[in-house]
């Protein structure tokens, strides 16, 4: 099991989307399955995973961008968005997230 670290911006946004129980269920799942998300092309190792929101399932749920630092035993949660407000992560946001990794 890996340690999951939430960035401030992730935690703030996640609190508006999920209940505390939903957030903790996701964190628990990811800590046991760190490679489940898809690697984002040109994302410097960033991954995107789909996750459900109560009553919406995965398809209409959220997308979470995260980075595995598995050698250190950590997973960093960087960004979360709902599918109904944003269909995909834009290049500007992706570049900002990649920059936060350095």
- What does the pLDDT look like over 53-88, one tens digit per residue? 876 655 668 999 999 988 889 999 999 998 766 667
CATH no. of 3-99: 3.30.2310
Pairing of strands 46-53, 57-69: antiparallel
- Which H or E run includes 48? strand 46-53
Q: What is the pLDDT of residues 8-51, one digit of tens each?
A: 999 999 999 999 999 999 999 999 999 999 999 988 889 999 99
For the record, the structure tokens of 12 come out as: 């703030």
Average model confidence (pLDDT) for the chain? 86
Provide the whole-model pTM: 0.85
Q: What confidence score (pLDDT) does residue 30 get? A: 97
Domain map (residue ranges) of the chain: 3-99
What SS3 state is found at 50?
A: strand
Residue 26, CA distances (Å) to 6, 96, 100 in order? 12, 24, 22
- Of 97, 95, 23, the C-alpha closest to 67 is 97
């Amino acid at each position: 099991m890996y340690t999951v670290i939430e960035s401030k911006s992730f935690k703030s946004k996640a609190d508006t989307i999920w209940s505390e129980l939903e957030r903790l269920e996701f964190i628990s799942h990811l800590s046991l399955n760190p490679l489940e998300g898809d690697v984002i092309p040109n994302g410097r190792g960033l991954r995107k995973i789909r996750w459900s929101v109560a009553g919406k399932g995965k398809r209409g749920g959220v997308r979470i961008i995260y980075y595995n630092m598995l050698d250190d035993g950590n997973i960093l949660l960087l960004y979360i968005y709902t599918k109904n407000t944003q269909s995909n992560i834009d290049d500007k946001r992706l570049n900002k997230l990649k920059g936060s990794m350095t």
